[in-house]
Amino acid sequence: MRITGVILAGGKSSRMGTDKGLLELNGQPLIQYAIDTLKSIGLEIIIISNNSDYEQFGFPVYPDIIPDKGPIGGVYTALSYSSTEKNLIVSCDTPFLSKKLLNYLIDAAKNSSIAIAEFEGREHPLIGIYSKHSRDTFKLYLDRNDLKLQNANKALNADVVSLTMHPEVKSIMFSNLNTTEEFKRLEL
């Protein structure tokens, strides 16, 4: 099964004050961690961002089709440009994702239209498998200006894949960076 790896890097980063994906963590841009993890499982990669600086990484970069609509707009854009039915979507600010975590999710999502990760009772919709055929539902939510990704996922009966029981999966893998304080705390 072919899967496209999608990195959402289009956020405004209002709490961080700068483009998160281009910030360096331990000597490399934050987005490079997501790129390396997606490449390690053999996925073709696209980046969703309104910032052309992401072209330096050598992958197609697509701006939001409908700007300023948050993650749901990014997912809609990703599904519009992807060339595969299944798409593994991650955020650019999750540097500790692992190959094992993503492979568990892919395996669990084989018969799902949408499958999102859950760890210790918390859902992570920006670590998920999204089918291209769900694109129209995301467009419907955008047209209604209902920008909560969870609402669209619920309407699409997204499977929630618990990864809590896998001993190789740790809570840090779900850490994302939204503020300079979080960023400083996560530097190794």
Per-10-residue mean pLDDT for the chain, 188 residues long? 92 58 89 96 96 96 96 97 97 89 90 90 92 97 96 94 74 59 59
Model pLDDT, residue 176: 65
Identify whether the C-beta of residue 159 lies closer than 8 Å to the C-beta of residue 115.
yes
Task: Tell me which residue range forms the domain holding 177.
Answer: 3-186
Question: For the domain that residue 38 is a member of, what is the CATH number?
Answer: 3.90.550.10
Model pLDDT, residue 186: 57
Model pLDDT, residue 164: 77
Model pLDDT, residue 16: 44
Model pLDDT, residue 14: 47
Model pLDDT, residue 93: 87
Rounded to two decimals, the pTM is 0.90
Model pLDDT, residue 11: 57
Number of domains in the chain: 1
Q: What tokens does 42 get? A: 């053999």
